Chain A
Amino acid sequence: MSTDAAVAEHHDGHPDPVRTRKVAMWVFLGSECLFFGTLISTFLLFRTRTGDGPTAVEIFDIPFTSASSFILLMSSLTMVLAHHSAERSDWRRSRIWLVATALLGTVFLAGQVFEFTEFVHNGLTITTSPFGTAFFVLTSFHGLHVAIGVIMLLGTAGISYAGRIRPNEGMNVEAVGLYWHFVDIVWIVIFTVVYLMQV
């Protein structure tokens, strides 16, 4: 019991913040699974309802999207390296990998913007058909998540660089990494379901 008292005293009602944030991020990603699950279900419901507009086969440029998907996958690798460096307290290198991850994410986003522009030119807009509606809304929400991820990555790197607070506080590398990997995995699902599983 004496040790317990000591534990209580040291514990002081505040648990380890790193672990706490990790748990919270996992819980949050559980919620996100349902969010994307719903968007993907909606898309599956509507994917053949193309009305007078172009169909999936007509509009998708699979090689291009494969390339941008590859870039996003690579960003998961750089994220792993960023986390690895952070674990070894190599903050400088960790920052470099964080920025690299953010850059790859930005390239992916640029690809998405280009792709959207192409689709609109080819007659598929958000109001053309339920297919267009569901496609744009699903991929836009994913893009929004990537964009938020890029901001988080740059924010983490920036705060670490400025040294205002310790790098592992605020948004620590591991929690951001969890989020980033999740967004990548979601893209793999979207890429498979939306682009590759055409009727």
Chain B
Amino acid sequence: MSATTHEARGLWAWVTTTDHKKIGILYGGSAIVFFIVGGVEALIIRLQLAVPEGAVVSADAYNQLFTMHATTMVFLVLMPAAAAFTNYFLPLLIGARDVAFPRLNALSYWIFFFGGLFLTMSFFLGGAPDGGWTGYAPLAQQVTETVRMDYWSLGLQILGVASVMASINFITTVFVMRAPGMTLMQMPVFAWMAFVVAFLLLFSLPIVAVGLFQVYLDRNLGTLFFDAFGGGDPILWQHLFWLFGHPEVYVLILPAMGIVSEVLPTFSRKPLFGRAFVIFSGIAIGFMGFGVWAHHMFTAGLGPVAEATFAITTMFIAVPTGVKIFNWLGTIWGGSIRFATPMLFSLGFIAMFVIGGLSGVTHSIVPADTQQHDTYYVVAHFHYVLFGGAVLGLFAGLYYWWPKITGRLLDERIGKWNFWMMFVGFNMTFGPMHFLGLNGMPRRTYTYPRGLGFEFWNLIATVGAFLIALSVAIFLWNAIRTRTKGEIAGADPWDGRTLEWATSSPTPVYNFAEIPHIETEDAWWHAKYTEDDEGHAVARPIQPDPDLAPTTDIHLPSPSYYPALAAFGMFLIILGLVYLPLGLVLSGAGVGVTLWGLFGWSLEPLTKESPDAGHPSPEETTEESDGSEESGDEGAEDGEGDEGDAQTDGEAGNEAGDDGDEQTDEDAEDAEDDKGDEGDKQTDEGAESAGDEDEDEDDGGES
């Protein structure tokens, strides 16, 4: 029997989808489109700087281009690319059917989509943001006649809303939806890093959200937050921005680290070395990421005490980063390394990230940083981290998981061209920038005169940038070509270790025919192999069959257009806010559309059932729901040891008198006996089994 879905077709299917895999693909596709947009912006920048006194674009256009290049790459490429992998693979890696809130997931995507559209649109509506992606006060508040920085503040604001929603969703998913038996420490490292990233976003975005509101209010209502001459404080903005901005750096790099931590073991045929250390160093990086923000402000005049403090915290955040690198080396050490394209990108990631990390340590030497700050040395540093690190890591993930997403392998020969072209181009572009910065070239300058010694390396960098562009074109060609000609992947083309390889490729809509029970990390590898006395891998005589057809009717969330509608409403709201006061009319309409979307959403059950299971009359609903809901509560309360309530609930459950109750108790007890399970989780499973008689209604509860 096949899964119950109510599939729409064509474009509409994509607009209304609530399937985490399709939403992941939407995120990924958008990220690639914006990668091209941001890349073209970068190429124009490099053309302008290829020779001194470049005249390809005006200073005004240049300022828009570098602002939008950074904004695009950070918020519209790296973040959605990580969100794409998290969306698609987090549920697969933890053995779940979907994320906790499928429609909220769709809403996150559509808000992101409209936010990206909103920012990019500004190029054609009076100019794009031109104050740098950091939007330093009071420059960002200075010219209120143009709406450029309004687009910036509102666009980032709404992208932040999307990210917070997605983070809540991912965190909840990890807490409540892990496959039975899977402890937190048994989660694959990519899932762990995505989990840490979700927390980073959850706690850092509200800070910059306040800052962005303040920017908007200063610009449009004349508030005085950043107005130095009115008593405000421009440095406040830097604190708020970097309190978000530095954790954001780890938001961008940790997913790539997670990917690499999956790829290296697979292609070394060895488990991840020091798994717990890799996970805990990720958590440590996340924590410490909130304690180093002021190293972006070493020239702002914080005073020697603060500077010394942040110098030391900055140095020591290098320690957990180093731990990760050493563990990766430990992983490939003694393995059997296959140089497939994902592995090449991962090894390239390590090599380049080491450089970015080391140049990062040089920034913690405050006096030296006063020379490096805001020069091309910094540009080189963060491109080694964010391109050499994040982008190479994401490409590793792309080549690694492409067969799982599409069912076909990307071409290995073209893939190797892609890697080497990108690797060489990257180093040609950003390596010389170290020299440029130390030789005195500040960033964000639209031109430079002859005679300062900047000519040679700038030209090299421009050539390198075009090599990168070529490598991206090669990737696109690979993707298009293998759609029809690619080798059929099969369920497990890389001899993988984690659960996503336990289901067929492309992933069936229901993910797993049967939810797996987990007893160890690398569960799929342990299904295929065992270890002999000396710890060598030995293939099991009977290999597991990943292609099980589902045996039961699997209920999946139905498509819904309400999330996209609500997101469109929010788009109208912010578009109206750009053009005060007349825009308020548009904003008002936007509020209406948003409420329409949310109202329709709240009345729509998550899973639509076949027509014969229509809703009973209101009285019936109330009564029946009482019974099953309470029995559900019982399970949960038992787990928390709240006896008094459980008593009452038990009675209520008995009144309703459905079999589900006994089931609950049995399940709960059985589960308790089962070692390695967390108390909380089992009771929930028990609770769920009780309630599942009215499947449609229970599932309709997603808010």
- List chain A positions with a Cβ less than 8 A from chain B: 1, 3-21, 23-24, 27-28, 30-32, 34-35, 38-39, 42, 45-46, 49, 51, 87-89, 91, 126-127, 129-130, 133-134, 137, 141, 155, 159, 162-172, 175
The yes or no answer to B205 lying at the interface (CB within 8 A) is: yes
Q: A7-B689, A20-B172, A170-B703 are in contact. Are A51 and B618 (CB under 8 A)?
A: no
Contact A170 B206 (CB under 8 A): no
CB distance from B573 to the nearest CB of A (A): 14
Residue of A nearest to B512 (CB): A13
What residues on A are CB-neighbors of B667 within 8 Å? 3, 6-7, 10
With a 10 A CB-CB cut-off, give which of B211, B225, B635 has the most chain A CB atoms. B225
A16-B180 in contact (CB<8A): no
Tell me the bound Cα distance from A90 to B645 in angstroms.
15
Q: How far is the CB of B71 from chain A (nearest CB, A)?
A: 21
A49 to B671 Cα, complex, angstroms: 60
- Given A91-B622, A130-B230, A165-B700, the answer on whether A8 and B555 have CB atoms closer than 8 Å is no
Tell me which of A9, A130, A159 contacts B231 (CB under 8 A).
A130
A-B contact pairs, 22 of them (CB 8 A): A6-B667, A10-B688, A11-B180, A11-B685, A12-B555, A12-B688, A13-B177, A13-B515, A15-B685, A17-B698, A18-B632, A20-B702, A24-B172, A27-B172, A31-B164, A49-B232, A129-B224, A129-B231, A165-B603, A165-B605, A166-B621, A166-B701
For A126, give the chain B residue with the smallest CB separation.
B223
Residues of B within 8 A of A19 (CB): 176, 636, 684, 687
A137 touches B213 (CB 8 A): yes
B53 at the interface (CB under 8 A from A): no
User: Are B698 and A175 in touch, CB under 8 angstroms?
Assistant: no
With contact pairs A28-B168, A38-B207, A171-B703 given, residues A13 and B175 touching in the complex (Cβ less than 8 Å): no
A134 to B193, CA, bound (A): 36
Type the 1/0 row for B195-212, where 1 means its CB is closer than 8 Å to any CB of A.
000000011111101110
Residues of chain B from 217 to 240 with CB closer than 8 A to chain A in the complex:
217, 221-225, 230-233, 236, 240
- The size class of the interface chain B forms with chain A is 35 or more
Complex interface: chain B residues within 8 A of A137 (CB): 213-214, 217, 223
Instruction: Determine how close the nearest CB of chain A comes to the CB of B595; give it in whole angstroms.
Output: 9
In the A-B complex, list the 3 residue pairs whose CB atoms are closest, starting with the nearest. Answer: A13-B97, A163-B618, A17-B701
Chain A residues whose CB sits within 8 angstroms of the CB of B545 once the complex forms: none
- In contact, A168 and B206 (Cβ under 8 angstroms): no
- Please give, as numbers and ranges, the residues of chain A lying within 8 Å of B689 by CB-CB distance: 6-7, 10-11
In the assembled complex, B554 has its CB within 8 A of some CB on chain A: yes
Q: Does B96 contact A (CB under 8 A)?
A: yes
In chain B, residues 4-51, which have Cβ atoms closer than 8 Å to a Cβ of chain A?
none
- Let me know if B60 is at the binding interface, CB within 8 A: no
**8 Å CB contact of B203 from A11, A31, A168, A169:** A31
Chain B positions within 8 Å of A141 at CB level: 213
Q: Which residues of A contact B403 (CB under 8 A)?
A: none
Q: Roughly how many angstroms separate A21 CA and B231 CA in the complex, as a whole number?
A: 43
Query: Shortest Cβ distance from A167 into chain B, in angstroms?
Result: 7
* A164-B603, A166-B621 known; A11-B176 Cβ under 8 A: no
Assuming the contacts A15-B176, A16-B684, A133-B225, asked whether A166 and B629 have C-beta atoms less than 8 A apart, the reply is yes
Interface membership of B630, Cβ < 8 A? yes
A183 to B279, CA, bound (A): 34
Further 8 A-B residue pairs, CB within 8 A, beyond A3-B671, A24-B101, A31-B205 = A16-B688, A17-B701, A19-B176, A27-B168, A34-B206, A133-B223, A134-B225, A137-B214
User: Are A10 and B692 neighbours in the complex by a CB distance under 8 Å?
Assistant: yes
Contacts A42-B236, A126-B222, A126-B223 hold; do A31 and B648 have CB atoms under 8 A apart?
no
Quick one: which of B177, B181, B223, B702 contacts A4, CB cutoff 8 A? Answer: B181
**Closest chain B CB from A21 CB (angstroms):** 6
Q: Which residues of A contact B205 (CB under 8 A)?
A: 31
- From A9, A12, A16, A18, residue with most partner B Cβ within 10 Å: A16
Q: Give CA–CA (A168, B652) in the complex, Å.
A: 15
Which chain B residues lie closer than 8 Å to A91 at the CB level?
622
Q: What are the residues of chain A within 8 A of B597 when measuring CB–CB?
A: none
Are A13's CB and B202's CB within 8 A? no
Q: Which residues of B contact A4 (CB under 8 A)?
A: 180-181, 517, 674
